Structure 1
């Protein structure tokens, strides 16, 4: 693997590399260049040189490259999904879905480009007015390891469609799929320098992307503390920012909910990708009147989830992606156990057996009876652990759901139009689902409130995040 800078695949200036390991087996599956500040500056220079030509092209011509790349991604889905599973850990069926999702995003922005235009107004007393929309210039993208393909699509899709050039940093534990996707875009006709990939640590590559004054916008997805540092590093140049900083999504199950459907909603919403999704169900609130039945059904269903290597047939949940993440989840569960807080209904430990010894596995876990201030409720739990609480009704559920510094997503499961109206109005979240959770089509804006971040990705709004307006007033 190499850095992609100005259309060429090169070693890092340092000459050093780092290993990428399969989190299910611990085996090294690849090496990536350990890029640094000089590599970022090199990439920024290439992006700057490519900007004039790329931004001057017709939107439909830029978007055609995305469409051709999407076609090739679909043709190579099987191989790309296998690579994604090997470096990230998710079951192969989830990896297939994610690769298809990347293609969906490119196709969406290809379609959206046809309507990209400015505005014309004839304002009496002022003259004729033109509102022009122009790309920002060089944009930085910092990608996490949990959904690398999808989030890469969210960032480069609108950025490239709008006419910007990009310097992108993948996560150190999952850089390989992003690099392959960049190769496909290059083969589809993306000119040299339009998309540059620099691998390396957040402390060096990420911070240089945030600080470099030539980069006019930074889009970052990751945890809140790192997001604050990105904002501080970007502040001197007054850069535009999109920060998606995680969440602690509540799910509310009402007494009139379709119980079997809601149980499956929990299983997918919490344990998809081993719970390593920003919009995963991270807190469950169930009406008291149906709690016993719901928890009984949920426990039985959770205990059927097969944990193992994502490439193995029948596996429903793979390992966590990295040891730091596993240790944090273990610490959160152990803290509750040591305090005597709540009851672990199922899970709460790593699975036993030789096949699990070298991997970063943790069983799907349900915990009930926790106090309101338990870390399992107050912190973001980025792994397969779900705290459960009972509530008396929708007012208490909304109050408990909003008692969080995060506000990314939330869901309510009910047949009542009144409850739907109250919940969708009252829940403090960037996205509220009704009788579903987790799915985010490329057409809708996505982002959070409170400490879940600023700005929006996805949809036509994302194009606006990568463009600036110029007003021309003409008096004849």
Structure 2
């Protein structure tokens, strides 16, 4: 059994209870972690409070060096960490390896920003010297989802710690193992006890206690919309800073002048990466009618080439869904669509052990069909014909989500129109899905508030204080 990291010590839950972690490809239990609750949340926050004064006084350059040393250790352990991530999350080894390396890259990126943490000074005749300080917020909480547990942990840990805050991190109950292993690497890199605490347990007890704790100054939550709304409500009485990334129903628009081969490849990759369990995955495609037949044929062909299986298998391009709830949800959606849409390929479970579902492409959906209204967090791709860009943009903007969107075209005018009119926090042109740590990440409308990544993410982990000096 792995243990929680609280105050630099590895500990069991106060209740003494544990919860198992299951491999989604085999249904075998691969480990267990403490079943933490409110008392453990309190202990972790207390440890973070105790470490705050010392860590915030460490020069930013040295804080950056700790992140860089941790990144180096992660790179040394990529193979072991990636295999563990496959076992608990289900994604193919190649994707898991990219994610672990991406975590190291994020820490390296923030380490490189360590010299940019400074305030401003200005002189005025009327008021004297004005000094604007940037101070850490204090104890921060990061709540991480199961779909991209390592990379999203990096988005939260990197800027929080570099800015001088301490953090309590809660990984998802189905994917805590790799995060705990990375916690050990932070300890080995010389991170002082209590600066990063990792606690495990269910959101309704452990997560709730963290979000409502009066000593917590910021909550960064990534997850589904309903839970995000609850987090906002629970954090409001103590006026906590919030970053909420709440998923999306990302549209892709394929124009009649697009490179259809490239667009089809990008859409298939953008939909079925991580078994479609990505908030910025392509979740709806609007294609011009004049090229729709050719585009659908290319998408079908490329989708049917995807090898589905255990993520550790050679040549596997898509693993299982991470959990039973997601698996049952995909079956229900496919069943509901079977009487009202046309399936180009897929649409069923594979019939093997594990939460495997075939990559699915559907077309001729009726207006108001669920995949056109809600986020489908799995390998089902709807393709919708439109007459022109006006109709495509209208359809793309028709949901309450606004995380990402893409437009595929060779026309600069159309690309500019898409970037201007698509309601999304991220817009790609002739690409989709990936985002580097340099680019701010977040959505609009129901997809959340705030941004992660980018140099200005440090502003979201600091508070400005104005000092006026007149001698």
The CA distance in 1 between the partners of 2:125 and 2:290, in whole Å, is 63
The CA distance in 1 between the partners of 2:444 and 2:333, in whole Å, is 25
Q: Deviations over 1:321-354 (max 9, x none)?
A: 00011111211221222xx2111110000113xx
CA contact (8 A) 1:285 1:391 kept: yes
Deviation at 1:474, TM superposition (A): 1.5
Deviation at 1:126, TM superposition (A): 2.1
Where in structure 2 are the equivalents of 1:311-330 lying within 5 Å? 311-330=312-331
Alignment-derived partner of residue 124 in structure 1: 125
Deviation at 1:106, TM superposition (A): 0.1
Q: Deviation above 3 Å: which 4+ runs of structure 1?
A: none
State yes or no: 1:201 paired with 2:196. no
Name whichever of 392-401 and 404-413 sits farther off: 392-401
Deviation at 1:209, TM superposition (A): 0.9
State yes or no: 1:179 paired with 2:174. no
CA contact (8 A) 1:110 1:161 kept: yes
For 1:398, which of 390, 393, 399 is the aligned residue? 393
The CA distance in 2 between the partners of 1:372 and 1:445, in whole Å, is 33
Deviation at 1:124, TM superposition (A): 3.4
Alignment-derived partner of residue 40 in structure 2: 39
Alignment-derived partner of residue 410 in structure 1: 405
The CA distance in 1 between the partners of 2:278 and 2:9, in whole Å, is 33
TM-score, length-normalised on structure 1? 0.98
Alignment-derived partner of residue 373 in structure 1: 368
The CA distance in 1 between the partners of 2:301 and 2:433, in whole Å, is 22
State yes or no: 1:254 paired with 2:259. no
Alignment-derived partner of residue 442 in structure 1: 437
Alignment-derived partner of residue 344 in structure 1: 343
Alignment-derived partner of residue 389 in structure 1: 384
Where in structure 2 are the equivalents of 1:44-55 lying within 5 Å? 44-55=45-56
The CA distance in 2 between the partners of 1:449 and 1:371, in whole Å, is 26
Deviation at 1:123, TM superposition (A): 2.5
Q: Deviations over 1:83-140 (max 9, x none)?
A: 0000000000000000000000000000011111101112332221110000000000
Deviation at 1:198, TM superposition (A): 0.8
Where in structure 2 are the equivalents of 1:50-449 lying within 5 Å? 50-337=51-338, 340-352=339-351, 356=352, 358-449=353-444
Q: Deviations over 1:182-217 (max 9, x none)?
A: 110111011000000110000011111110010000
The CA distance in 2 between the partners of 1:468 and 1:255, in whole Å, is 48
TM-score, length-normalised on structure 2? 0.99
The CA distance in 1 between the partners of 2:340 and 2:375, in whole Å, is 17
The CA distance in 1 between the partners of 2:300 and 2:405, in whole Å, is 22
Secondary structure of the corresponding residue to residue 410 of structure 1: strand
Name whichever of 159-168 and 340-349 sits farther off: 340-349
The CA distance in 1 between the partners of 2:160 and 2:236, in whole Å, is 21
The CA distance in 2 between the partners of 1:150 and 1:393, in whole Å, is 37
Unaligned runs of 5+ in 1: none
The CA distance in 2 between the partners of 1:445 and 1:297, in whole Å, is 32
Q: Deviations over 1:289-339 (max 9, x none)?
A: 1000010111011001000000000100000000011111211221222xx
CA contact (8 A) 1:333 1:376 kept: no
C-alpha root-mean-square deviation of aligned residues, in Å? Answer: 0.7
Deviation at 1:153, TM superposition (A): 0.1
The CA distance in 1 between the partners of 2:221 and 2:411, in whole Å, is 38
